[in-house]
Amino acid sequence: MDTLTDLPAFHPPVPTPRQDSPGLIGLLLALRRNPLTTWTERHFREKVIVGDGVLGRIMVANDPAIIRHVLVDNAGNYRKDDLQMRVLAPGLGRGLLTADGEEWRLQRRTMAPLFTPRNVAGFHPAMNEAADRLVRRWRRRPDGRIVDVSLDMTRVTLDVLERTIFTSGISRNPDALGRAITRYFEGLGRIDPVDIFGLPAWIPRIGRLRARPAIRFFEEMVRDLIAARKTLLAQGQPAPRDLLTLLLEAADPETGKGLSDLDVNANIVTFIGAGHETTANALSWSLYLISQDERVRTLIEAEIDRVLSPGPIVADQIERLVYTRAVIEEAMRLYPPAPFLSRAAIADDDAGGFAIPAGTVVTIAPYVLHRHETLWRDPSAFRPERFLSPQREEIDRFAYLPFGAGPRVCIGATFALQEAIIVLASIVRSVRLDLAPGHDVDPLHRITLRPRHGMPMMLKARGKGV
Ligand code: HEM
């Protein structure tokens, strides 16, 4: 008997893999509409697929040993490829996500201490306050009211970032900041054909033109916030221990040098850009999956009712919410918030017997890897138990990559997981959510993996509230 696959399970919707690769025009159209629809059956079955096309040589790697080679063992031979940079850099500047070479190494060394488990634990109160605000708002609604969970998860993750970066009250106009951030990233979220063909940065991208006023407003606001905090620190006045203060005080452990104003600015934008929609999607997909599986819903509600009491969720409780964490991890397996990573080989290389000539783009797609037939049992089924001991120990470190791996692994992974657990547990403690009847759930890859038509769900109060 197989304890994992004997469990009844929900198989959530995704585009059916194609039988054959689309031609060039078909590929471009599919990339624009939804890159998830470009994957073929072979990608989910074969460990390595290499192809030469107009975009150069591309290797799709689903072999944990090759992935480990590219991301860890020989990471120095691989850089982030140009397409990612063209899509992300105009919005994020030279922050940690888009910096390269020595510039990246210096920033990473300087910022690593910001995200230690101890510092992240210092953010639990801010995470609880943001979750609380959302749940209180929802509890004021009558039972049966439909809310767009996807929109509210974006709001709550932005609220967490505002509180952990700037601390509430420092930003003079938090709602305006929230709106500006949303508009700023909306303008950047689409892969433009102009980027695919690598045309120069001065050629206007329509989405970005539309976002220009929001970009200006947002950038000015961040500049003002940095200036105000620097004055406070220079005067020796007590300043909140948020990410802004930590960034301004950060020093390279090797040289003692701090970050420039431009670096601080780029990294604030990067933390918001890399941290809000990703975490929001992990939460939306978790809530959707829970709503579709009564067995999982019963188990997660029971755990949360057993572990939590009213009031803020503390570190020791987070550790005991093992099933809740497994639900989030399984949601990120099925719907990885960052569904696609890629690297370009700098010099000729060889991985597991496969030649990788210089210039090859190695594609590591968590969306495909996490559903690969050779790596997972019943890959399309929603079964959080995979992430509980002892089954968990069977998962290869390089078969599950929601946060990437190696030197460029997500610096915010601990932050994101703690936040997701606090927000999800706060929600499940106080409300039950059911998908709006007749709603069509359609996963869309647009830098992150989000529900195309939002996630309208029906609210019902449960438990004693917050
Ligand atoms: C569920 C939420 C999140 C997911 C799934 C996620 C995923 C990822 C992945 C896959 C990478 C590696 C990209 C690559 O190797 O090409 C990455 C990098 C990064 N993430 Fe996250 N992330 C999340 C939340 C956050 C948060 C909350 C922050 C900051 C507060 C953050 C900041 C960053 C930064 C700065 C990098 C670049 C690191 C470097 O290159 O050194 N992320 N993230």
Q: Which alpha helices (DSSP H) does 308-385 contain, by range?
A: 315-320, 322-334, 366-369
Q: Which residues approach ligand 1 with their CB closer than 6 A?
A: 96-97, 108, 270-271, 274-275, 278-279, 282, 337-338, 341, 402-404, 408, 410-412, 415-416
Closest-lying ligand 1 atom to the alpha carbon of residue 406: 15
Q: For atom 11 of ligand 1, which residue has the closest CA?
A: 410
- Measure 413 CA to ligand 1 centroid, in angstroms: 7
d(CA 391, CA 376): 11
- Token digits of residue 453: 């038509």
Can you give the pLDDT at residue 193?
A: 47
- Return the amino acid letter for 176: A
The pLDDT value given to residue 52: 83
Tell me the CA–centroid distance for residue 72 and ligand 1, in Å.
16
Ligand 1 atom nearest residue 332's Cα: 5
> From ligand 1's centre to the CA of 41, what distance in Å?
28
Question: Residue 233: how many CA atoms within 13 Å on its side-chain side?
Answer: 16
Q: Provide CB contacts within 8 A for 256, sequence distance 6+.
A: none
Instruction: Give CA separation, 122 vs 119, 170, 226, 400, 421, in Å.
Output: 5, 18, 21, 28, 15
Exposed / middle / buried, residue 116 (Cβ in 10 Å: 0-12, 13-18, 19+): exposed
Q: What is the pLDDT of residue 1?
A: 47
Is residue 323 a contact partner of residue 300, using CB atoms and an 8 Å limit?
yes
Closest residue to atom 19 of ligand 1, CA basis? 410
Residue ranges of domains in the chain, CATH in brackets? 24-461 (1.10.630.10)
pLDDT less than 70: residues of the chain: 1-2, 84-93, 168-176, 183-212, 215, 464-466
Query: Cβ of 341: how many Cβ atoms within 10 Å?
Result: 22
- What is the reported pLDDT for 86? 65
Helices (H) and strands (E) in the chain, counts: 18, 12
Task: Write the pLDDT tens digit of every residue in 220-248.
Answer: 888 888 998 999 899 988 888 899 999 99
Q: Which atom of ligand 1 is nearest to the CA of 401?
A: 10
Q: Which residues contact 23 (CB under 8 A, 6 or more apart)?
A: none
d(CA 311, CA 422): 11
Buried/exposed code over 390-415 (b: 16+ C-beta within 10 A; e: otherwise): ebeeebeebbbbbbbbbebebbbebb
From 283, 410, 447, 449, the mutation candidate for ligand 1 (largest count of ligand atoms within 8 A of CB) is: 410
CA-nearest of 179, 160, 163 to 171 is 163
Q: Which atom of ligand 1 is nearest to the CA of 267?
A: 35
Q: Is 461 helix (H, G, I), strand (E, B) or coil?
A: strand
Specify the pLDDT at position 209.
61
User: Are the beta carbons of 338 and 277 closer than 8 angstroms?
Assistant: no
